[in-house]
A and B are shown apart, each in its own frame.
Chain A
Amino acid sequence: MTSAKDFEICSLLRKRKMEGMELLFTSYYKPLVVWADTFLRDVACAEDLVQDFFLKLWETGRFERLLPETLRSYLFTAVRNAALNKLEKADPLANACDVALHDSPWEEYDSFTDDVFRRVEEEVGKLPARSQEIIRGVYLRGKKYKELAEELGISVATVNSLLVSALKRLRQTLGDDPVKLIQLFFLKKKSDLTQ
């Protein structure tokens, strides 16, 4: 599925317009940074990587030849490769086993947009305080179960079960189907409007 935005980005860039870079940025910067972060486990580092990638795109004139049909997969693949290269340079053996995990085709990640981020943030915000603390600890701060258990003065088993039940709840509200997630989001928006 090629979005109208991708067509617009490519047509602006073909005319060498800075607005094309801006639209590319607003549509893809955050998803790409988070994507690079999936490998690098360091958001600041991921930001540098994606910015350098954009800069190179602009300076080498490569942006003029981007095609809307393949834009999305090109961006995600290029950023993933750059991230893996960076990792390999830092430590040639580390993380080799994780790569296969994220090797899934791009179409899977069509829901990977700003709206989804907002929606996740919103739903996490509705969880009980303790569950939120654990989710943030694990996902935001990259803490191990054990570290969190010590920090919060609870057992590892409790961290484990709270996390699983939090995920279960998020699955109910977010779903695990990208199409449904987007629909939910727009339904919600509509109901916000009618209120």
Chain B
Amino acid sequence: MIERDEIDEQLLRYLLKESTPEERRAVEEWVERDEKNAAYFKRFQRLHLWIEWGMRAEMVKTSFEELRRRLTRRRRMWTWTGVAAAAILLLSVGGWLSQEREPERRPVAQLPVIEPGRPRAVLHLSSGEKVVMDTLARELTEQDGTAIRVSEDGNVAYEAQAESRDTGRVMNRIEVPRGGEFSLELADGSQVWLNAESELRYPARFSGDKRAVYLKGEAYFSVATDSTRPFVVEVEGMSVRVYGTEFNVSTQQEGRVETVLVRGAVGMRHGEEEMRLEPNQLGVFVKADGSMRSQEVDVLPYVAWRTGDFVFKDETLESIMDKLARWYDLEVFFQNGDLRDVRLSGNLKRYKDVRELFRSFEKISEARFSVNGKTVVIGK
């Protein structure tokens, strides 16, 4: 009988493909000769595989977060909401944010920490040129001579020049990413604050009988008075028309445009139909059936973001998390579906650590927040 060590040696060489063809045959014959041998081979192979697997497992890198990003890619739909004001109007539209961000491969050592948004935007000039704006002051000139001033505090201002060329055709687009915010002053002097994950398209200079801008996402408008040229925000197939001096528009819930009026007067217009809003009213346009309705609301929660606050008042946890996700760039998962509908209230400075808010929510509800990198899992 052969020594056991010698058998092991042969079997190992066989499994590691170190054997010569003769040795291979010899091993196979040995295995087939006797059931005991076959059983021994099986156990030996198992040990070999365990070691191989145990060793090779060290090289497996992927975390579930990476896969989750791929899994949710086609399923993620972001929703938007809107609000408007008499001279303040806030409007929200949904669905456009389903565009995908490439899944990033982050080294494990640099787990992202939750950071609030900051002034950040991309300005698309009519030439197609892209200007990334953060906190660097600069001045640009459009094709028609309009001066564009970018200040270090995240504001862009347009200054129409006396002599005009190609008036009204020069369109600019400003894009604010997730986790960003930006404000701009349009050529007519109107102020626009853009929230995170929003986009505004507007002429470098207004011409014609109305001042039209195109919004995706959420923005707060303070419109300069000009009774001869109404200011119109085109959003998700409907428009919000401003009759006052200032308004704020935002679009956040999928399939809905919400307008909250703070001061002055606005009208929500869909086709021929127009619904006028009074101050402290919320107007809702439902895209699916084209219906519009209004109700009295406390405007503060709708417009607080502009002044750097989150104000949630008897709001569902789902809607709260949606807003926080956009600002802090979070991925949110609910372990218990019924937690989505829990209604909570709370305030938070937009630049503060969001976990403070989670802690206070934990005190007043059964929701439990576990934060891992940029992922928040909400369970009981």
Contacts and interface: CB of A to CB of B under 8 A. Distances in A.
Bound pair (A, B): yes
Interface of A: 18-19, 21-22, 25-26, 29-31, 33-35, 37-38, 43, 47, 51, 54-55, 58-59, 101, 104, 108, 111-112, 116-121, 124, 135-136, 138-140, 144-145, 160-161, 163-164, 167-168, 170-171, 174, 176-178, 181
Given A140-B56, A140-B59, A120 B50 contact: yes
B9 A164 contact: yes
Interface in B20-48: 42-48
B113 interface: no
Contacts of A139: 51-52, 55-56
A145 B51 contact: no
A18 B59 contact: no
Q: Which secondary structure dominates where chain A touches chain B?
A: helix
16 contacts: A18-B333, A19-B333, A21-B67, A35-B53, A38-B53, A54-B67, A55-B67, A55-B70, A58-B71, A59-B74, A104-B42, A116-B53, A121-B54, A139-B55, A145-B18, A174-B47
Could you say which interface size class chain B belongs to?
35 or more
Contact of A116 (B13, B54, B58, B59): B54
B54 A124 contact: yes
B8 A167 contact: yes
Contacts of A144: 18
Nearest to A101: B45
A136 B12 contact: no
B371 to A, nearest CB: 16
B44 A176 contact: yes
B43 A112 contact: no
Contacts of B295: none
Given A51-B67, A176-B46, A168 B55 contact: no
B58 A22 contact: no
A34 B55 CA distance: 9
Interface of B: 5, 8-9, 12-13, 16, 18, 42-62, 64, 67-68, 70-72, 74, 333, 335
A113 to B, nearest CB: 10
Given A43-B60, A47-B60, A160-B13, A120 B70 contact: no
Contacts of B62: 29, 47, 51
Given A22-B68, A121-B54, 5 more contacts: A19-B335, A34-B56, A34-B60, A140-B56, A177-B43
A140 B58 contact: yes
Contact of B51 (A26, A55, A161, A170): A170
Contact of B47 (A19, A117, A176): A176
A9 B151 CA distance: 53
B55 A167 contact: no
B9 to A, nearest CB: 5
B8 A176 contact: no
